[in-house]
Amino acid sequence: MLTKSLLFVALTDGKHYLRALDKDTSQIIHEVELPLFSQGAPMTCVADGKQYISLAVSGFKDSKLMTLAPP
């Protein structure tokens, strides 16, 4: 997912992460460890004036839609 200044990517690097990268420098701005593998690209929506980022995560038996609210 791409915003004006950030690129949000879900990846596995030994552990599972959702990372916010600076679009111009690729520097990691923030990362959140995910409980399961990410399935697909992050999505965004706005509810009651607050932005949320959601992504599907799953394992062998569990599947969830995980939603985070940036500070």
- Asked, for residue 40, whether it belongs to a domain, the answer is yes
Number of domains in the chain: 1
Measure the CA–CA gap between 50 and 71, rounded to whole angstroms. Answer: 10
Cβ-contact 49, 43 below 8 angstroms: no
> Does any domain span residue 1?
no
- pLDDT score recorded for residue 4: 87
Mean pLDDT by 10 residues, the chain (71 residues): 89 90 96 90 91 91 88 71
Structure confidence at residue 70 (pLDDT): 77
Q: What pLDDT is recorded for position 14?
A: 87
How much is the pTM?
A: 0.77
Residue 51 lies in a domain: yes
Is residue 39 included in any domain, yes or no?
yes
Domain limits for position 62 = 6-68
